[in-house]
Amino acid sequence: MRPITQSSKLAGVRYDVRGPILQEAERLERDGHEILRLNIGNPAAFGFEAPDEILDAIRQALPRAQGYSDSRGILPAREAVAEHYSRVGVAGVGPDDVIIGNGVSELISLVLQALITPGDEILIPAPDYPLWTAQATLAGGHVVHYPCDEQRGWMPDLEAIEGLVTERTKGIVLINPNNPTGAVYSAELVRGFAALAERHGLVLMADEIYDHILYDGARHEHAALHARGTLCLTFSGLSKIQRVAGYRAGWVVASGDRGIASDFLEGLSLLANMRMCSNVPAQFAIPVALSSASNWSGIDDLCAEGGRFRDQRDAAHRLLSDIPGVSCTLPGGAMYLFPRLDPDRYDIHDDQHFVIELMRATRVMVTNGRGFNLPTPDHLRFVTLPSVPVLTEAIGRVADYLEGVRIA
């Protein structure tokens, strides 16, 4: 029999966050071992429950949510998203500029499939949220990673990025706050990204899913405030800030110069139509979550001094930084730490294999830095969602393991 093989389109497509490391974790769990999963930013798994007002909105809407909705999403949800961005100062956005999706992940796929002609280049940060690289590759694009400098708090260099632009460059991705580093970009830097996109006619794709998870007085700057002479696509949703990742309620908003992008937007609408619509019950949570009276379900309190998100970040950062040969930039946002293991003290050539061996020894599951398209095998990503006692136990096990493999 002729073997059935995967599509050649998958050549070069990776998503290590849910790849071989997860498969090994599942094998260990089948054998009766308890694995602490610090690989995925899944708030519900660590006791962060959906706000009552969101649960109530979905319950009340269930009788009306049994059929398909408009493929772009129900009108109240799109109106709420448009009004939210209008309140923060983004001009000229209406409900017709909004598409609701099954989380940001689905919308990234739709946008890149609609945008990329095989051979087009997309500028994506390194490290990145790997879905961006995977979906751009799957769409036939050539990903050009622009570096972010760990010595400067993981900030990108706009001059270096501009040197990567060619006649085939179609768009640039800005992840702010960044996953996996937690870097929060200044207003000046965000303006620089918008200006660069406008100079070269690039689509500016702003992944802002963590825009309210901020620490130590950090402020988030919306890219859409500054991109007027080109198309800006802003991605966000309820999964992280409202802690309802499983509800799959996200959106993409088109702003800036939509006139030059009418053909692309028609293609995006076609793809949105082809998937019928996103999860309808969850769409009814969006107007409640984005109402002007909303306190964003307590996210500011969680991130403030004494709040659980903040305390967990601080404890994990301190514990990791105390390990000999480990350094870690303190993140200004998001829910991750991205520590570096000094190559002179840890001889790591295959960081995926290293993470699997670490998990077998400690029952702690993290993700390797190369899984986020970092070129070097010397970083790990830790999720900081568990309680401080759980993080203390987990990082203590990791510290013991690293003591046994240190070479200097």
Residues of the chain with CATH 3.90.1150.10: 8-48+300-405
Residue 178 and residue 172: Cα distance in Å, rounded? 14
pLDDT at 50: 82
pLDDT tens profile 103-160: 999 999 999 999 999 999 999 999 999 999 999 999 999 999 999 999 999 999 999 9
Any idea which residue has 């991605």 for tokens? 235
Residue 156 and residue 170: Cα distance in Å, rounded? 19
- The three-class DSSP label of residue 125 is strand
Region 37-53 average pLDDT: 87
- Pairwise pLDDT comparison (9 vs 405), residue with the higher score: 405
Crossing angle of helices 351-362 and 388-405, in 10° steps, is 120
Contacts of residue 60, defined as CB under 8 A and 6 or more positions apart, other chains included, come to 284
pLDDT at 293: 52
Region 2-14 average pLDDT: 83
pLDDT at 17: 67
Q: What percent of the chain has pLDDT over 70?
A: 98
Comparing 44-48, 65-69, 85-89, which segment has the lowest mean pLDDT?
44-48
Residue 16 has pLDDT above 80, yes or no: no
Residue 294 has pLDDT above 70, yes or no: no
Residue 162, Cβ density class (10 Å: 0-12 exposed, 13-18 middle, ≥19 buried): middle
pLDDT at 53: 87
CA atoms within 13 A on the CB side of 201: 7
pLDDT tens profile 145-161: 999 999 999 999 999 99
Region 383-397 average pLDDT: 96
Contact in structure between 384 and 336 (CB atoms under 8 Å) = yes
pLDDT tens profile 350-359: 999 999 999 9
Residue 86 and residue 71: Cα distance in Å, rounded? 23
Please give the mean pLDDT across all residues of the chain.
Answer: 94
Give the global pTM. Answer: 0.94
What pLDDT band is residue 10 in, cutting at 50, 70 and 90? confident
**CATH topology (fold) of 8-48+300-405:** Aspartate Aminotransferase, domain 1 (3.90.1150)
What pLDDT band is residue 275 in, cutting at 50, 70 and 90? very high
What pLDDT band is residue 295 in, cutting at 50, 70 and 90? low
Measured at the alpha carbon of residue 43, what is the angle toward residues 186 and 130, in degrees to the nearest 5?
Answer: 60
Q: Tell me, what DSSP letter sits at residue 331?
A: P
pLDDT tens profile 306-323: 999 999 999 999 999 999
Contact in structure between 236 and 211 (CB atoms under 8 Å) = yes
Where do the H-state alpha helices sit in 102-230? Answer: 103-115, 130-138, 158-162, 187-200
Residue 4 and residue 8: Cα distance in Å, rounded? 12
Beta bridge partners of 231: 256
Comparing 17-26, 212-221, 232-241, which segment has the lowest mean pLDDT?
17-26
Which helix (H) or strand (E) covers residue 80, if one does? helix 75-87
Comparing 2-6, 82-86, 204-208, 402-406, which segment has the lowest mean pLDDT?
2-6
Crossing angle of helices 130-138 and 103-115, in 10° steps, is 40
Any idea which residue has 């061996």 for tokens? 357
Q: What is the CATH number of domain 52-294?
A: 3.40.640.10
Beta bridge partners of 155: 149
- The three-class DSSP label of residue 379 is strand
Residue 353 and residue 357: Cα distance in Å, rounded? 6
pLDDT at 104: 95
Residue 195 and residue 372: Cα distance in Å, rounded? 26
Q: Tell me, what DSSP letter sits at residue 344?
A: T
Q: Determine how many CB atoms are found less than 10 A away from the CB of residue 160.
A: 11
> How far is CA 297 from each of CA 129, 265, 332, rounded to the nearest angstrom?
25, 33, 20
Any idea which residue has 């309140």 for tokens? 87
Crossing angle of helices 103-115 and 262-274, in 10° steps, is 130
Residues of the chain with CATH 3.40.640.10: 52-294
What pLDDT band is residue 296 in, cutting at 50, 70 and 90? low
What pLDDT band is residue 13 in, cutting at 50, 70 and 90? confident
pLDDT at 376: 95
